[in-house]
Structure 1
Amino acid sequence: MSGIPVDRFAPDLDPAAAWKAWTEHLAPIFDVRPVPETHAGPEIGMRSYNLGSILVGEVSAPAQMLERSGRMAARQGVDHVLIQLYRRGTGVVRTDRAEVEIGPSDFVIYDLAQPVAITSSAVTATNILVPRVVLGDRAAHIDSLHGSVFGTASDRVAQIFGSYLSEVVAHCGDLTIQRAAGLAQAAASLCATALPNPSGDAAVTERRIGLAVRTFIQDNLGSPDLGPEMICARFGLSRATLYRQFAADDGVQSYIRHCRLAQAMRLLTAPPDGGRPRISSVAYATGFSDERSFSRAFKRRYGCLPRDVAVRRVVEPLRSGAGHQLGEWVQRLGL
């Protein structure tokens, strides 16, 4: 019986060749640049296992800068969530909302439909890549969790998730492909359970309200009336309470605009019938009053026009090179 498919990166002995191969290997997910501390030595490496519905693996990376631009996200047309558990090393993750430090024993969450930049020291990390849809009810909160960090020091569920993920990666090489579906299902379930609430530091009541409001926003993105007045009336909130809930998101209007554009990206990259939808239809479905204002907002967010976004089933081939198998897996994940 065949084993679980694995993609491996092993560096060339020549540092320059090793760095070139490393940047090609990560090209399906990030553009990579060196920093003064970069050293592409024999200690760097990466293993990725394809469990069918998710990818898991581990990486030993040099000090580096990683970037995923809005244009890159649009060109690739994937709607996945990458979660890393730092075992060694530190980093700083930057989104258009915040800048957050990452340390050993921290999880960091990347929504690959959104831009992000990371600067890190030499890092050892465990990875899981899941399609958004696999996360069930938690998928609606990934937009808010993009670029956020949560630790395992005092979170028992996060500890369990981290331990399970590490064990799966450690033993995938000894398992048959028949085991992959069960392992993937358990990993995805633990992942969804371990994800923090978007307002994790708030009081329980505040957190419950925040989750309810965010769910309401996701359910009503197509309504042109969606805004502070509609939300306050629906939940009986004062404007001050509503604004406090979205202070970290630059206000509720900014959050709604962000969610609308993220939903538009999903509709453009993975339409139900597999074909390219009309731009005007996507604009109206996500609450924009006309195609022109939608296209302007989309370009500000993602760096390209909606018509230039790749459809999942006819996506532009990723760059070839050392990471060509990983790139194919990333593209096909969830199809």
Structure 2
Amino acid sequence: MSSNSERTNYPDQLAQIQFNSANLPTEHQFDAWRQFLAPSFDVEPMQETTSFSYTLNSYLLDQLIVTKTTFDTVQMIRPSRKLSDSDSDFLTLQHYGKGQMQGSLDNGTPLLLKSDRIWILDSAHSYQVCGQTDHLIGLIIPRHLLVDHDKIYTDAPSLSWALNSPQGRLVLTAMHTIWQQLPCMTQTDAPIVSAGIMGLLNGLLSNQWNDIARRQLQLTTLQVLQRYIQANLHRSDLGVEHLCKAHHCSRATVYRLFQPLGGVMSYIREQRLLGCYQVLKRLQATDSQRVQDVADAWGFTNYANFSRLFKQRFGINPRALKQLSPFATDFNALQNATALSEVERWQYWLEQIV
């Protein structure tokens, strides 16, 4: 029984797992989900399991596992007998976009995991929850990467930040920004990005907020602008004036925030190029969509200029990239397909990060 989905892997890409109930016969869907979570949880259905829907997409980011998932109503129990396993030596950072999970820790502390808070749970404690979720984003973090992990274990096995707090907004924005970049990220980028998010979490958990509040609030503003840019790359008028009007900030503020990234227009251009690259590398040579149509959709109004910038950035003409088959071996030699099922790969990841 396998739910592998084929994808093109280049040597420097991040390792990825995609697990989807739609790839399985209905009668095997819940059993596959139970097996997938078996290293960490006992999983029980909350309703008739004639079908059970879930999706999971995960990346291995250096020593972190970054994941997005949805699943139907279920009960998840982390019993004491699983705490002796190596995978108990991690914590999870998670936010529920929709839905909720409700339950308690083994000490009776109630848990209500829903969209108004970001949670850190210590997997070295037993707990049980039930419910369902849509758009859960999370990080699995090896214990040794958190400076205050002993304090978390003894004093705060579950802690959270309100989503409307500075800390909550900052962490959630960072998580979504990282997620958006993961498909384009390389193994070279991974340790730097991983260290960045861990530096943020350790700063907040070490009660250093007062010392770094100004800098982190600036980062929050920058990331809000970045998310807005990502959602509006198709607009040809996207620029400094547009950002100032949309977010009621001065030109000086926008210039200052983006200066470390090479400037605001350089950042916008880079995001558009990355978007075009991702679309073009997935197109078959026989697809009817023209390269110019792709460029137009991502906000480029001058095709000749786009083609020149694309070649400078990626070392290949955009038309030539489209002509390459997704399974070609003459452009960044492809990895061999793994013989491991997604379940086995997930369990292997957990063993490796701790």
TM-score w.r.t. length of structure 1: 0.57
Hey, what does 1:101 align to over in structure 2? 112
Corresponding residue of 1:225:
none
Distance change (3 Å), C-alpha of 1:37 and 1:148: farther
Alignment size in residue pairs? 210
Match of 2:344 in 1: 324
Structure 1 residue 49 displacement after superposition: 1.0
What amino acid is the match of 1:176? T
Q: Is the 8 A contact 2:106 2:125 kept in 1?
A: no
Aligned AA (2:83): A
Structure 2 residue aligned with 1:85: 95
8 Å Cα contact 1:54-1:128 kept in structure 2: yes
SS of equivalent to 1:128:
strand
> Gaps (5+ residues) in structure 1?
198-319
Q: 1:138 to 1:74 in 2, by over 3 A?
A: closer
Specify which structure has the bigger relative contact order, considering alpha-carbon pairs within 8 angstroms and separated by 6 or more residues: 1
Aligned counterparts of 1:174 and 1:66: Cα–Cα separation in 2: 33
Q: After superposition, what is the alpha-carbon deviation per residue over 1:167-225, rounded to whole angstroms, capped at 9, x for unaligned?
A: 2122211111110001111111222334497xxxxxxxxxxxxxxxxxxxxxxxxxxxx
Partner residue of 1:129 out of 137, 140, 148: 140
Instruction: Give the alignment's Cα RMSD to 1 decimal.
Output: 2.4
Pairing partner for 2:28 from 2, 17, 37: 17
Q: Quick check: which has more Rg, 1 or 2? A: 2
Change (3 A) 1:144 1:37: farther
Aligned counterparts of 2:161 and 2:153: Cα–Cα separation in 1: 14
Instruction: Tell me the distance in 2 between the aligned counterparts of 1:92 and 1:9.
Output: 24
Q: Which moved more, 1:81-90 or 1:24-33?
A: 24-33
1:164 deviation in Å? 1.0
The residue correspondences of 1:1-335 to structure 2 (distance < 5 A) are: 1-11=11-21, 12-36=23-47, 40-41=51-52, 44-76=54-86, 78-97=88-107, 98-137=109-148, 139-153=150-164, 155-195=165-205, 322-334=342-354
* Residue identity matched to 2:46: V
Distance 1:41 1:330 in 2: 24
- CA distance in 2 between partners of 1:3 and 1:119 (Å): 35
SS in 2 for 1:330: helix
In the alignment, is the contact (CA less than 8 A) between 2:30 and 2:49 conserved in 1? no
Cα gap change, 1:106 to 1:56, in 2 (>3 Å): same
- Checking the alignment, whether the CA contact within 8 Å between 2:122 and 2:152 is kept in structure 1 is no
Mapped to 2, the partners of 1:39 and 1:113 lie a distance apart of 33
Distance 1:9 1:77, change over 3 A: closer
Deviation string 1:62-113 (CA, Å, 9 cap, x unpaired) is 1111111111111346411112111110121311221122221322222111
**1:18 shift after superposition:** 1.4
Matched AA of 1:57:
T
Task: Using the TM superposition, give the Cα deviation of residue 28 of structure 1 relative to its aligned residue in structure 2, in angstroms.
Answer: 2.4
What's the CA shift for 1:119?
0.8
What code does the residue aligned with 1:22 have? W
**Cα–Cα, structure 1 residues 95 and 321, in superposed 2: closer, same or farther, change >3 Å?**
farther
Helix, strand or coil for the counterpart of 2:128?
Answer: strand
**1:136 aligns to what SS in structure 2?**
coil
Unpaired stretches in structure 2, ≥5 consecutive residues: 1-10, 208-339
Larger displacement relative to structure 2 (32-41 or 68-77): 32-41
Aligned AA (2:142): P
| SS of match in other structure, 1:165 | helix
Q: Which position in structure 1 is the counterpart of 2:277?
A: none
- Contact kept, 8 Å, 1:95 with 1:117, in 2: the verdict is yes
- SS of equivalent residue, structure 2 residue 95: strand
